[in-house]
């Protein structure tokens, strides 16, 4: 297996306390990696077994350099960043610091101390096609992820750093996520518990997105760290889209009670992923040819999300506390 190459190696994972980061730490620790898990506050890493916690504010250059100088990782998986489009309207500078400057500081520290170590940076399929110009940026989050993806590509092109850009689609699965599936599952479980909640509203139920299980994405990151080609951009997707309305129907079908729902306006079908069908100038790589395929069926992801939501609120899977 290609990822055996990583066994025994020191892998530094940023954003380790986040939704994807927690899955990544668990996966790579099980693979026998020496995982350095990085979060802003080490307290967020306390419940995670088999990792070495490291506290670092990635938007502080001196802290980042100190971290790399001290840990000297063989590989880096850079998952940290801010990822709420709505929040980004209110804090665009903070999004630029976290999604652009943090990458710059990390790459600069690697260039200085570990220039040969492989780096995978998680971008976003919401970055925009630069050929459309900055005026096409739908929100500051998208602009910041676009800059971040440029930094990843440019540090390979300009300095020869072995950087790979991964662009996952919408990641879902068990764990603390601010994504649609997790939010709705929490709402459904709340209704099962008889809580009085404001009605969940779907803004655009015909909106279609590519959803991928976070555990499949982590397996893809492992393949890219072991076998990816530096300088390339790798889209990571399930290859099939689902509408928000379809997901809502599936989650509601698992509910033990009637769940009230605001289905929102009847609107024309649209694909949110139309934003990014590959950017001009990118050297795009294929995960297929590296042997990666998504393995977790969509229904399994949804079921695991419901189970997580119930477990979190102390209910078993019969819907009773």
Q: Tell me if 314 contacts a second copy by CB under 8 A.
A: no
Neighbours of 320 (CB within 10 A): 10
Residue recorded with tokens 């990544």: 24
How is residue 298 written in tokens?
Answer: 């969509």
156 touches a second copy (CB under 8 A): yes
Q: What H or E segment, with its residue span, contains residue 261?
A: strand 261-262
List the one residue from 239, 281, 291, 297 that touches a second copy (CB under 8 A): 281
Strand partners, 242: 209
CB of 270 to a second copy, least distance (A): 21
User: Looking at 10-18, 135-143, 210-218, 249-257, which segment touches a second copy (CB under 8 A)?
Assistant: 135-143
For a second copy, give the closer residue by CB, 8 or 281: 281
Two tokens, residue 230: 């530096």
Q: Cβ-count burial of 161 within 10 angstroms (0-12 exposed, 13-18 middle, 19+ buried)?
A: buried
Q: Which is nearer to a second copy, 156 or 310 (CB)?
A: 156
Residue 219 exposed, middle or buried by CB count within 10 Å (0-12, 13-18, 19+) = buried
Rule CB under 8 A: choose which of 279, 304, 306, 310 binds a second copy.
279
Q: Which two tokens stand for residue 55?
A: 């506290």
Site for a second copy in 241-270 (CB under 8 A): none
- The minimum distance between CB 110 and a second copy, in angstroms, equals 12
Number of residues that bind a second copy (CB under 8 A): 38
The stretch among 45-53, 140-148, 186-194, 238-246 that binds a second copy (CB under 8 A) is: 140-148
Question: Which residue's CB is nearer to a second copy, number 158 or number 268?
Answer: 158
Contacts of 171 (CB under 8 A, 6+ apart): 19, 20, 177, 179, 211, 212, 213, 214, 217
> Following DSSP, what letter does each residue of 125-168 receive, concatenated?
TTS--GGG-GGG--SHHHHHHHHHHHHHHHHHHHH---EEEEEE
List CB contacts of 320: < 8 A, sequence separation 6 or more.
none
User: What is the chain's alpha carbon radius of gyration, rounded to the nearest angstrom?
Assistant: 20
Residue from 37, 101, 119, 248 binding a second copy (CB under 8 A): 101
* 135 contributes a contact to a second copy by CB under 8 A: yes
Pick the binder of a second copy from 46, 86, 133, 268 (CB under 8 A). 133
Please state the closest distance from residue 282 (CB atom) to a second copy, in A.
Answer: 6
Q: Does 132 bind a second copy (CB under 8 A)?
A: yes
Q: Which of 21, 140, 173, 294 binds a second copy (CB under 8 A)?
A: 140
| 151 binds a second copy, rule: CB under 8 A | yes
Q: Where does the chain have alpha helices with state H?
A: 19-30, 61-71, 85-90, 92-96, 102-113, 140-159, 180-192, 214-227, 244-253, 298-312
Report the nearest approach of a second copy to the CB of residue 235 (Å).
Answer: 15
Q: In terms of Cα–Cα distance, which of 127, 33, 23, 122 is closest to 73?
A: 33
Select the residue interacting with a second copy from 1, 30, 84, 157 (CB under 8 A): 157
315 binds a second copy (CB under 8 A): no
Which chain residues interact with a second copy by CB under 8 A? 61, 89, 92-93, 96-97, 100-101, 104-105, 108, 130-137, 139-140, 143, 147, 149-154, 156-158, 231, 279-283
């Amino acid at each position: 297996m290609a990822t055996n190459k990583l066994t025994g190696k020191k892998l530094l994972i940023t954003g380790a306390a986040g939704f994807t980061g927690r899955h990544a730490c668990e996966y790579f620790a099980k693979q026998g990696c020496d995982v350095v898990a990085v979060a802003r506050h080490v307290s967020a890493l306390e419940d995670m077994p088999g990792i070495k916690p490291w506290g670092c504010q990635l938007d502080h250059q001196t802290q980042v350099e100190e971290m790399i100088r001290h840990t000297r990782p063989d590989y880096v998986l850079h998952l940290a960043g801010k990822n709420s489009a709505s929040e980004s309207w209110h804090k665009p500078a903070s999004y630029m610091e976290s999604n652009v400057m943090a990458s710059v500081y990390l790459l600069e520290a690697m260039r200085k101390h570990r220039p040969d170590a492989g780096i995978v940076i998680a971008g976003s399929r919401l970055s925009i096609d630069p050929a459309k110009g900055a005026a096409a940026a739908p929100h500051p989050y998208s602009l910041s992820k676009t800059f971040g993806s440029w930094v990843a590509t440019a540090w390979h092109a300009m300095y020869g750093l072995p950087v790979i850009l991964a662009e996952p689609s919408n990641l879902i699965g068990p764990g603390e996520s601010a994504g649609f599936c997790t939010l709705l599952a929490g709402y459904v479980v709340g209704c099962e518990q008889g809580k009085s909640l404001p009605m969940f509203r779907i803004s655009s139920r015909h909106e279609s997105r590519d959803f991928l299980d976070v555990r499949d994405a982590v397996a893809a990151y492992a393949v890219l760290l072991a076998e990816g080609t530096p300088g390339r951009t790798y889209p990571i997707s399930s290859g099939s889209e689902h509408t928000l309305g379809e997901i809502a129907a599936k989650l509601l079908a698992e509910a033990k009670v009637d769940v009230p729902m605001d289905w929102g306006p009847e609107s024309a079908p649209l694909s949110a992923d139309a934003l990014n069908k590959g950017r001009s100038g990118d050297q795009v790589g294929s995960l297929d040819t590296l042997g990666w395929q998504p393995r977790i069926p969509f229904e399994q992801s949804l079921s695991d999300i419901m189970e997580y939501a119930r477990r979190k609120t102390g209910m078993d899977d019969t819907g009773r506390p």
